[in-house]
């Protein structure tokens, strides 16, 4: 199993860090943009940044020249926090990536909203995924977080309408869930082969997620979770 880490950061005083679609797109773009061994200043100065409606990318035709810091296996953006499932590609890859990601997005957010000061509640939190029993749950837990805004009962396998809950997740763009279902959303951001092989492809992932909502309580895996 790869060296996996569950990473979370949230807004100071639990304030929102994503106000509208532009903010979400910018953060997803930054997940891709700053995943590079080059310095953040070099990246900003040498590349033309832009965001497409379907996925973040560049128009310079040099994607093959990138050297990633981490593999982003899964992610989910919530109004006042985010979850990532990462593994390092180079030594010190995760702290280097997280420093660029948090600083870069904070700079964008403060400039856009004409604010000053800290955006995030301190340094990001990170927990190593040390056991397979935890590993098999985390991608689902991360992708199910948006249900907090629809039916909080999912945390205790008490969803009121299972079909509606699954439909809600398929309408929520700001995670890697759709790409794991095989529906192109932000395919450039994540490295999914490792998890898809383990879970039996797109269909295997979908079936297991469905079972998770029916049968698993968040309390069952509390020791590996980073809660807000």
Q: With H, G, I as helix, E, B as strand and everything else as coil, classify residue 85.
A: strand
Q: Supply the range of the domain harboring residue 154.
A: 132-223
pLDDT digits (tens, 9 = 90+) for 122-181: 899 998 988 776 788 889 999 999 999 998 788 887 788 889 989 999 999 999 999 999
214 has pLDDT over 60: yes
> And the tokens for 156?
């205790």
6, pLDDT greater than 70: yes
Same domain, yes or no: 56 and 149? no
Contacts of 27 (CB under 8 A, 6+ apart): 18, 77, 82, 105
What domain count does the chain have?
2
Q: Kindly state whether residues 150 and 45 are assigned to the same domain.
A: no
In this structure, are 138 and 111 located in the same domain?
Answer: no
The answer to whether residue 228 sits within a structural domain is no
Distance CA 108, CA 26 (A): 8
DSSP 121-136: SSSPEEEE--SHHHHT
Above 60 in pLDDT, residue 225?
Answer: yes
Q: Which among 128, 148, 164 is the end of a domain?
A: 128
pLDDT in tens, 31-69: 999 999 987 665 555 454 444 444 444 443 444 567 999
What is the residue-averaged pLDDT of the chain? Answer: 86
């Amino acid at each position: 199993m790869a060296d996996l880490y569950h990473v979370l950061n949230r807004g100071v005083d639990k304030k929102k860090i994503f106000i509208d679609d532009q903010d979400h797109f910018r953060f997803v773009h930054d997940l891709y943009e700053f995943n590079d061994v080059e310095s953040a200043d070099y990246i900003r100065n040498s590349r033309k940044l832009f965001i497409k409606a379907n996925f973040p990318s560049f128009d310079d035709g040099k994607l093959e020249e990138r050297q990633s810091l981490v593999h982003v296996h899964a992610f989910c953006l919530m109004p006042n926090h985010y979850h990532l499932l990462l593994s390092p590609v180079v030594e010190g890859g995760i702290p280097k990536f997280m420093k660029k990601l948090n600083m870069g997005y904070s700079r964008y957010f403060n400039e856009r909203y004409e604010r000053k000061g800290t955006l995030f509640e301190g340094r990001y939190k990170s927990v190593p995924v040390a056991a397979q029993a935890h590993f098999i749950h985390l991608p689902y837990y991360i992708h199910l977080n948006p249900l907090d805004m629809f039916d909080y009962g999912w945390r205790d396998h008490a969803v009121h309408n299972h079909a509606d809950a699954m439909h809600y997740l398929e309408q929520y763009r700001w995670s890697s869930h759709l790409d794991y279902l095989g529906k192109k959303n932000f395919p450039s951001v994540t490295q999914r082969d490792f998890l898809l092989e383990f879970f039996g492809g797109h269909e295997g992932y979908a079936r297991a997620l469905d079972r998770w909502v029916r049968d698993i309580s968040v309390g069952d895996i509390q020791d590996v979770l980073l809660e807000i």
